[in-house]
Amino acid sequence: MVAATAVKPFKFKHPARRLGCGFYVQPVHWSDNPAHDEGWANRVAALYGGRESAGWLREYEMQPITAGVRVWPMLTREVHVLRKAWEEIVGPAWTRYRVIDQGMRHPTCCGWVAVNAAGDQYWYRQYYAADRTIAENVLAILDRTRPEEAIEANIADPAIWARNPETGNTWAGVYQDAGLALRRADNSRAGYDAVSTGLVSALARWSLFHRKPHGKMAALEPGTLQVLASKPAIWFAPECAEGVQSLYEECASLRYEEPRGDPLRHAAPEKPVDVNDEGADVVRYGRQTAGMTYQAPRRVVPEDIYDRLLKAEEQERKRGRRR
């Protein structure tokens, strides 16, 4: 006779809740699945930037309160700040763009970014200024751009195309008059996830290059790292990571807004704080905006005036012989 084995009753981590309509809802945590251990959690969380990331906390830990949580916790200087002069990296294989976040009470920020054929982005120069006119900012931006850089386009916050109800003018028009033609950036929230993907890609490439997973990628297998590394990556030049007011630091410090009111009645905001976020907005526009891709260099050789005269005379002689 076989003795009966006691079966431990299954218990969910979170209790069931009864709704006002009388139905019960049972929240299911990731740990309720016997196949999901800490190793599994670490592997999945790495895709979001770690177990402290807002994405993991929201999707797997049932924590809607994101206040104080960093938007991009995967950012690390060791990986994302390349310790080389930008001239050593950016060459003919990269197309250059400028991305602008216009400020009046906040600083105006401009970032120079290079894009290669794989879609990788390298932010190699920045400009911040407050209490300056648009004309002054345009002059400073143009002055900081070398003639040989061949900027493909200037991308800017679409809000500056809003017309003044009294004059009908736009800030974009003021930029145009000052000598800087602009294209509208994509300001959608999807840009936050797009930046996350680029930062995680850089971490995965670092891990594959050094043949050891970075601390934030420690739980991932080589096959998963290869998949993550295949996405377009994002890096910064050292000059874009100097001081609190820099593209890198403003991305690293960006956090979600504090919740307001009763948390049982109002969902926690999933919007980042609108303070010291100009650099983060610039990077987000640069990643999310369509068309910011590598463009094959256009070789334009100016024609000498004397060559044009000689060609014209030769054509005249040919027409005379035909007669």
264: which 2 tokens? 């049982």
99 contacts 121 by C-beta, under 8 angstroms: no
Contacts for 190 with CB less than 8 Å, ≥ 6 apart? 288
Give backbone dihedrals phi and psi of 182, rounded to 5 degrees, phi first. Answer: -120, 155
pLDDT given at position 16: 72
Average pLDDT over residues 304-320: 64
Q: Which domains does the chain have, with CATH numbers?
A: 77-288 (3.30.420.280)
SS3 call for 95: strand
Task: Give the pLDDT confidence of 76-91 residue by residue, as tens digits.
Answer: 999 999 988 888 888 8
pLDDT given at position 32: 76
pLDDT given at position 69: 76
Q: Taking the CA atoms of the chain, what radius of gyration do you get in angstroms?
A: 27
DSSP letter, residue 146: -
281 contacts 157 by C-beta, under 8 angstroms: yes
Task: Give the pLDDT confidence of 200-223 residue by residue, as tens digits.
Answer: 999 999 999 999 888 878 878 888
Q: Is the pLDDT of residue 193 over 50?
A: yes
Report which of residues 26 and 156 the model is more confident about: 156
Its pTM stands at: 0.74
Question: Which residue type, as a one-letter code, is found at position 61?
Answer: E
175 contacts 153 by C-beta, under 8 angstroms: no
Q: How many CB atoms lie within 10 A of CB 75?
A: 26
Task: Give the pLDDT confidence of 131-176 residue by residue, as tens digits.
Answer: 899 999 999 999 999 988 999 999 999 999 998 877 778 999 999 9
The whole-angstrom separation of Cα 284 and Cα 164 is: 26
Average pLDDT of the chain? 82
Q: Is the pLDDT of residue 18 over 80?
A: no
pLDDT given at position 251: 95
57 contacts 69 by C-beta, under 8 angstroms: yes
The whole-angstrom separation of Cα 125 and Cα 240 is: 6
